[in-house]
A and B are shown apart, each in its own frame.
Chain A
Amino acid sequence: MKRYLLVISCCLLPGLLLASACPAGHSLRGENSGKDAVVGDFTLPDLAGHDVRLSDYRGKVVYLSFWATWCEPCRLELPHLQRLWQQRRQQGFELLTICVDPGDRDNLVRQQVRRDGYRFPVLRDRETELIDRFNPTMDLPFGLLLDRQGRIQHIQQGFRLGDEENIRQKIDSLLGR
């Protein structure tokens, strides 16, 4: 029993210490976001190999969407995201999608992008570094909605029909619509 308690305590301590180090008044939802963390910058190549930086999109509302070619809910979600992106791009909304397929599936990724008519930027996380950072359980699809300051305001795990309406409301709220 003592061993269990020791293990548990060691496991709990970092979290509790971190929590106690955080300022008071912080909201789980991040609505009171003065102290929420700004997502650190990253650089990933797009399908043509050009490097894309997240910091290039600062000042815009950004939705990061992780997907894979074998993920059927991702194929269900991406057309909805594209529609939102096309409708709200002029108001400062940007969509960055990140495909996590391994490099040997590059041709299939490119085919899906052209076949399904994706117009939004598609970045490649071949090494799974970025998805491991935000989504260690590797769930797909997975989305992060960032406000104009780059703070996470919504996390989308998976996609079911009806979720697109929830995402739209969150985006509109950040755009001030």
Chain B
Amino acid sequence: MPNPRPASRLPWYLLLLVPLSARAVDFTMPLVDKQASLEITETLVGDYHDDNFDQDPSNDGYGDLRNRLNLRLAMERWTLSLRLDASLFIEAPSAARPPYRNRLAPEKWYLKYRARSWQLQAGDFYASFGRGLALGIRKVDQLGEDTSIMGIRGSWHLESFSLTVVSGLLNPSNTDGVTEKTISDWVPRSPWYATRSDWLSGLRAEWRPLPGLSLAGHVVGLVYDPYRQNQHLQGLIEMSILPRWATIAGSGLDWAGVTDWLDVNLEFNWLHKDLHQQLDAGNGWGLLAGSNIYLGNWTLVAEAKFYDDYELYTETEAGDYLPTRIDVIRPPTLEPAEMEIANNRSVAGGRLRLSWRPGGGGTLLEAAGAGFWARATAVAQDRYWIYNVWLTAEQSFLRSGLARCILGLREEVPLAGGGLAKHLVYLYTSASIPLWGRHSLELSGNNWWEHKHNTTLDSSTDFVKGEWSLGWSWSPLLTASVLVGYDSESSGSRQLEIFYTPAGGSPIRQVFLAGDIMLNFSGRVILRLLAGQLRGGAKCINGLCRIFPPFAGVKLETTVRF
């Protein structure tokens, strides 16, 4: 496909008309003469991607328009849903590559029939069994880069008993689990089945004999097809170490309200995977147990997790086949979610979180900790002892204001002599301050001080990274924020400079600056302009939380909801 020429401004103006045209109505369906309703959500994002200083020029200096039109038509017991995606790239570095290919496609759809005690759905759907340890396919990204299962889902409810059956193709949009980019179904001159993803089937039965008590059993089967994906993606022929099929079987107990002060839960899963061209077929198991205790103003969460090789994908030492993986199972992390530290593979440990709200008032004090043994890779010697402790203090003030501070310490110590030891001290803080009228200020930030010590080479490095934002809001019309981020880890530099240029290399950005303005017209039409550089991850900016991909440039977003 040839490189596109620069586009005129006309398409931009035309696209801006889409939000204005979106409506939601009840109407009489022609032909059948029945009442129907239509829901519409329309999102249009225009980006200009500047140089993000990631050493990869192929993702800089281009523009894109991405449009998501969500339609949901309901008539009596029937529902038809369609998500129509359109992508338009301007001056893309490689228009032939799937991430930069102009496309218009019905990315997701489903048809659902709902009866009193059962329902049947064909098309795209998300699915989660129990706590997600055996199956947890959820929407993972904010704009069109989520994955799903495409197939059939049926469920049947009868008083205290329910049955769910799912079967279909996993990740039909071929989302890249690492970069969260759609890698597309498109391969020239290939039949559709040559580029499709894994096949997944599952069954779950649940019985609720008492209020709050659930007893469940489930089985999930998965047939992998990593061969073709890796082949056309990066030329990696890693199929020799990948599983070809896997079975997960498990059961769980969840009892909310054993007594007024106690909840308990337990889930066990056994995993068998057939490793192609390896003699030892893989077996793994995962156990998650927990309880909540409530004693007046004190609350306690205690959780234990034992995972032994409980992962569908066997990781290579280099870990280099990962771009095509989508986690079917959702192994919980024992550490704060916002830290995004995975300890998912082979783990034994637990966590506690003790909260105290003196007098039930506006003060909250928390102490939390997690400790576990973990194996980071397939290498048996690669074992670590990890602990993470953190304290939280929170105080409400001025009727509606809230301030919060978290201070923590995390240590990662290799158990077998050589390895990388990590020491981390972290601080999270935020304050929402009411001003006059409907004006308010919002301050939030975090800072990590990290020390890494290679015990084999006896060398050490220190890093610092963090992100701070200051926002002003004039409710409900206008909010504006400034964000400053910094990260000396990605560059490997000991000093924090705006740009760090390694010997013989090109500059790497270490300091990130961004501004964000959001205009809210009656809640139905929202315009958002973000400019600058942003480190990726879950962020709350301007009172709005979202998972942001790493970004440098200008982003204009319009959202219309009905």
Assembly CA distance A7 to B66 (angstroms) = 11
When distances are taken between beta carbons in the complex, the residues of chain A under 8 Å from B400 are 76, 80, 161, 164
| CB atoms of A37 and B37 under 8 A apart | yes
A30 shortest CB reach to chain B, Å: 8
Chain B residues contacting A8 (CB-CB under 8 Å) are: 11, 14-15, 86, 88
| Cβ-defined contact, A139 with B545, below 8 A | yes
Q: Give chain A nearest CB distance to B287 CB in angstroms.
A: 13
Residues of B within 8 A of A68 (CB): 545
User: Is B59 close to A, CB under 8 A?
Assistant: no
With A3-B4, A155-B561 in contact, is A29–B332 under 8 Å at CB? no
User: Does the CB pair A73–B139 fall under 8 Å?
Assistant: no
CB-based contact A132/B42 at 8 Å: no
Q: For window 82-104 of chain A, which residues contact chain B by CB distance below 8 Å?
A: 102-104
Q: Name B104's contact: one of A10, A23, A135, A156 (CB within 8 Å).
A: A10
Q: What are 30 A-B pairs at a CB distance below 8 A?
A: A1-B8, A4-B102, A10-B104, A11-B84, A12-B14, A12-B15, A22-B27, A68-B545, A70-B538, A75-B402, A103-B131, A103-B136, A107-B291, A110-B263, A114-B292, A128-B138, A131-B139, A136-B68, A137-B142, A138-B139, A138-B141, A139-B546, A158-B542, A158-B544, A160-B432, A160-B473, A161-B440, A162-B437, A163-B438, A163-B476
Name the one of A29, A76, A110 contacting B432, with C-beta atoms under 8 angstroms: A76
Q: Distance (Å) between the CB of B32 and the closest chain A CB? A: 16
Known: A72-B444, A157-B526. 11 other contacts (CB 8 A): A4-B7, A36-B25, A49-B208, A49-B214, A73-B543, A103-B130, A103-B132, A111-B353, A136-B143, A158-B542, A160-B473
- Report yes or no: B104 in contact with A3, Cβ–Cβ below 8 A: no
Q: How far is the CA of A132 from the CA of B83 in the complex (A)?
A: 11
* A26–B79 CB distance below 8 A: no
Closest B-chain residue to A80, C-beta based? Answer: B400
The verdict on B230 contacting chain A, using a C-beta distance below 8 Å, is: no
In the complex, are the beta carbons of A49 and B212 less than 8 A apart?
yes
Q: Which of A18-77 contact B (CB under 8 A)?
A: 18-19, 21-23, 26, 28-30, 35-40, 47-51, 68-76
In the complex, the answer to whether B126 meets A128 with C-beta atoms within 8 Å is yes
Cα-based distance from A126 to B132 in the complex (angstroms): 9
What chain A residues lie within 8 Å of B61 (beta carbons)? Answer: none
Given A8-B15, A155-B524: A14 and B84 within 8 A (CB)? yes
Which residues of chain A have C-beta atoms less than 8 A from B54's C-beta? none
Complex Cα–Cα for A37 and B212 (A): 35
Closest partner residue, chain B, to A145 (CB atom)? B523
Q: Contact: A104 with B288, CB < 8 Å?
A: yes
| Cβ distance A121 to chain B, nearest Cβ, rounded Å | 14
A29 to chain B, nearest CB (A): 5
Among B70-78, B234-242, B410-418, which stretch is in contact with chain A? Answer: B70-78
- Which residues between 235 and 268 of chain B lie within 8 Å of chain A, taking CB atoms? 254, 256-257, 263, 265
The residue of chain A having its C-beta at the shortest distance from the C-beta of B441 within the complex is: A161
B355 touches A111 (CB 8 A): yes
Q: Indicate if the CB atoms of B332 and A104 lie closer than 8 Å.
A: yes
A118 at the interface (CB under 8 A from B): no
B38 and A37: CB pair below 8 A? yes
Are A40's CB and B72's CB within 8 A? yes
Contact call B40/A157, Cβ cutoff below 8 A: no
**Given the contacts A28-B524, A136-B70, A72 and B540 also touching, CB distance less than 8 Å:** yes
In the assembled complex, the CB of A89 is this many whole angstroms from the nearest CB of chain B, namely: 21
Q: How far is the CB of A26 from chain B (nearest CB, A)?
A: 6
Task: Note all chain A residues with C-beta closer than 8 A to B432.
Answer: 73, 76, 160-161
Which B-chain residue is minimally distant from A137 (CB atoms)? B142
Is B290 in contact with A19, judged by CB distance below 8 angstroms?
no
Find the residue from B84, B211, B360, B475 having the highest chain A CB count within 10 A: B475
- The answer to whether B559 touches A129 (Cβ under 8 A) is no
- Is A139 a contact partner of B544 (Cβ separation < 8 A)? yes
- Contact between chains at A47 and B256 (CB < 8 Å): yes
A127 x B332 contact (CB < 8 A): no
A133 near B: Cβ within 8 Å? yes
A119 located at the interface, meaning its Cβ lies under 8 Å from any Cβ of chain B in the complex: no
Residue of B nearest to A6 (CB): B104
On A, residues with C-beta under 8 Å from B are 1, 3-5, 7-12, 14-16, 18-19, 21-23, 26, 28-30, 35-40, 47-51, 68-76, 80, 102-108, 110-111, 114-117, 126-129, 131-141, 152, 154-166
Contact A137 B559 (CB under 8 A): yes
Is the beta-carbon distance between B128 and A102 smaller than 8 angstroms? yes
**Interface residue ranges, B against A (CB under 8 Å):** 4-5, 7-8, 10-11, 14-15, 17-18, 21-27, 37-43, 67-72, 74, 79, 81, 83-84, 86, 88, 102-104, 125-128, 130-133, 136-139, 141-143, 146, 157, 208, 211-212, 214, 254, 256-257, 263, 265, 288, 290-292, 294, 299-301, 303, 330-332, 337-338, 353, 355, 357, 360, 364, 400-402, 404, 430, 432-434, 437-440, 442, 444, 473-476, 479, 518, 520, 522-526, 538, 540, 542-547, 559, 561-562
Task: Give the residue name and chain of the B residue nearest to A10 (CB).
Answer: B104
What are the residues of chain A within 8 A of B27 when measuring CB–CB? Answer: 21-23, 35
Check if A73 sits within 8 Å of B131, measured CB to CB. Answer: no
B-side contacts of A40, CB under 8 Å:
37, 39, 72, 74, 79
Minimum Cβ distance to chain B for residue A63 (Å): 13
Cβ of A127 and Cβ of B263 under 8 Å apart?
Answer: no
Q: Which of A22, A117, A155 contacts B25 (CB 8 A)?
A: A22
Give B339 Cβ to nearest chain A Cβ, in Å.
10
Interface centre among A22, A132, A140 (most CB of B within 10 A): A132
Residues of A within 8 Å of B437, CB to CB, are 162
B291 contacts across to A, CB distance below 8 A? 107
CB distance from A71 to the nearest CB of B (A): 4
Report the minimal beta-carbon distance from B208 to chain A, rounded to whole angstroms.
6
* Residues of B close to A134: CB separation below 8 A: 41, 561
Residues of B within 8 A of A36 (CB): 24-26
Complex-state Cα separation, A51 to B24, whole angstroms:
27
In contact, A162 and B545 (Cβ under 8 angstroms)? no
Residues of chain A contacted by B130 (CB below 8 angstroms): 103
**A114 touching B294 by the CB < 8 A rule?**
yes
- Cα(A166)–Cα(B522), bound, Å: 10
Rounded to whole Å, the gap between the CB of B62 and the closest CB of chain A is 14
| Contact in complex: B562, A19 (CB < 8 Å) | no
A3 to chain B, nearest CB (A): 6
B206 to A, closest residue via Cβ: A49
Q: Tell whether, in the assembled complex, residue A104 and residue B133 are in contact, meaning their CB atoms are under 8 Å apart.
A: yes
Q: Which residues does chain A contribute within 8 Å of B81, judged by CB atoms?
A: 133
B475 to chain A, nearest CB (A): 3
